[in-house]
A and B are shown apart, each in its own frame.
Chain A
Amino acid sequence: MDRDAVASHIPRLRRYARALVGDRYQADDLVQDTLERALNKLHLWRPGSDMRAWLFAVMHNVFVNQLRGKRPDTMALVDDDAIAAPVGTVDRLEIRDLQAALMEIPAEQRAVVLLVGLEEMSYAEAAKALGVPIGTVMSRLARGRERLRHLMAGTQTAPSLKVVK
């Protein structure tokens, strides 16, 4: 039953991983590593507690470990455009794409922006998933959103999205 519960969270884990890592296959690698680790540690999960929060915490640990073990250049590739023009040298005004802008901000800020904005976690839930105090969540959120805003500024050439409310 717990395994079924883990499986039911796969689509959400994939969505978050895709946004966090950028590349589809690397994102699914992250999800796969997370699922394997979660199953090995399933006995540590307290029945009745929030499984989503627990799985995201597991994913965060796997992600941080991967970042540490990785050469810095392997995170930069987002798509073919990024290969043609290494991300670090792209003129800020040229970045149209939110996905590219996300990959430009530090991973720790990106994680908070995504957990709150995409996964719709409360600040307390995000703090728990990342294992940091809530004040750290707020400062990373503020810095991440401001960086994104500057990266996206002046790029209104694409029709702006209608906010569905």
Chain B
Amino acid sequence: MTSKLSETDLHAYVDGALDEAHRREVEAHLAADPVDAERVRAWQEQRARMRALFNPVLEEAVPDRLRAAVPPRRRFPYALAASFLVTGVAVGWLAKSYVPAEPRVAATASLSKRAAVAHVVYSPEVRHPVEVGADQQEHLVNWLSKRLGQQLKAPTLAKEGFDLVGGRLLPGESGPVAQFMYQDARGQRLTLYVSRSSANRDTAFRFSQEDRVSVFYWVDGKLGYALSSELPKERLLAVATAVYQQLNP
């Protein structure tokens, strides 16, 4: 090892924590030092294996006992309910309001849930929001298309104020899923989650609120799409409409 470089530099290189100049320095060193090059390669492989081994945990359904450990605060207005309950008419009305407005197709409902979880997990990432960046857009789209077995498109959302950050491959319920990430000038992110649909039946736009994340989702032929963000619903709808129009010219 040359005197300029430390062990710490090699680890920082593996973890993507070096600036451009330092990175080049380490690369030059590794090209000349096969022993260090082998160590660095082994550490990189550890990282990759670790992620391949444990990232699927992110996609598992959270066990009930863990959900129950963080009960959402009750938002039901008891006092108001009590005043309604004195009249029989109100009882009937209240009971009706508990019936879900629209019975949802289970498969597409889980699409929105999964998309929201993937959004929550990856959109706050500062250093590694995506696996492949927008600078390699063609490679990104080809790679994800190949893995999903369907030709995908990454919509252009510049008119809506969003630029492509990049994308990643995720494990879905029954196979690979693609996630494209976009960002506006203020750093607000949205993700487009694309999975193969077994239903193979088009659906209308649906909306789902998953905690703080708003999701518009729909099925179009063999692919299911879900657009997630913490944007206001109206603004997200405008973006979702643009996505839909670009995918169905």
Q: List 24 A-B contacts (CB under 8 A).
A: A4-B211, A7-B211, A8-B120, A8-B212, A10-B66, A10-B67, A10-B70, A11-B117, A14-B57, A14-B62, A14-B66, A15-B57, A32-B66, A32-B69, A35-B66, A98-B50, A114-B50, A117-B51, A118-B54, A120-B128, A145-B11, A149-B46, A152-B46, A161-B52
The A interface is mostly helix, strand or loop, or mixed, namely: helix
Q: Does A26 count as interface, using CB distance less than 8 angstroms?
A: no
- A3 CB–B CB distance under 8 Å: yes
Determine whether A43 belongs to the interface, using a CB cutoff of 8 Å to chain B: no
In the complex, the answer to whether A120 meets B127 with C-beta atoms within 8 Å is yes
A28 located at the interface, meaning its Cβ lies under 8 Å from any Cβ of chain B in the complex: yes
A51 to B, closest residue via Cβ:
B124
Interface size class of B (residues with CB under 8 A): 35 or more
A88–chain B nearest beta-carbon distance, Å: 22
Whether the pair A161, B11 counts as a contact (CB closer than 8 A) is: no
Question: Are the CB atoms of A11 and B121 closer together than 8 Å?
Answer: yes
CB distance from B6 to the nearest CB of A (A): 9
Residues in chain A near residue B53, CB distance under 8 A: 19, 98-99
For chain A, which range describes its interface: under 10, 10 to 19, 20 to 34, or 35 or more residues?
Answer: 35 or more
Q: Which residues of B contact A99 (CB under 8 A)?
A: 53
CB <8 Å contact, B70 and A123 = no
Q: Are A161 and B45 in contact (CB under 8 A)?
A: yes
A62 close to B (CB within 8 Å): no
Q: Does B73 contact A (CB under 8 A)?
A: yes
Closest Cβ of chain A to B42, distance in Å, is 4
Instruction: Kindly state whether residue B48 has any CB partner on chain A within 8 Å.
Output: yes
**Bound state CA distance, A12 and B62, in angstroms?**
11
Q: Chain B residue with minimal CB distance to A144?
A: B46
Q: Which B residues touch A149, using CB under 8 A?
A: 39, 42-43, 46
Whether the pair A18, B15 counts as a contact (CB closer than 8 A) is: no
Set A11, A117, A145: member contacting B62, Cβ < 8 A: A11
Task: Evaluate contact between B70 and A118: CB separation under 8 angstroms.
Answer: no
Minimum distance in angstroms from B27 CB to a CB of chain A: 15
User: Across the interface, which residues of A come within 8 angstroms of B59, CB to CB?
Assistant: 11
A90 within 8 A of B: no
Mask of A103-136 contacts with B, CB within 8 angstroms, 1/0: 0000000000110111010110000000000000
Do residues B7 and A18 form an inter-chain contact, with CB atoms below 8 A?
Answer: no
Which of chain B's residues have a CB closer than 8 A to the CB of A120?
15, 125, 127-128
Closest chain A residue, CB of each to CB of B213: A8
Within 8 A of A (CB), among B120-163: 120-121, 124-125, 127-128, 131-132
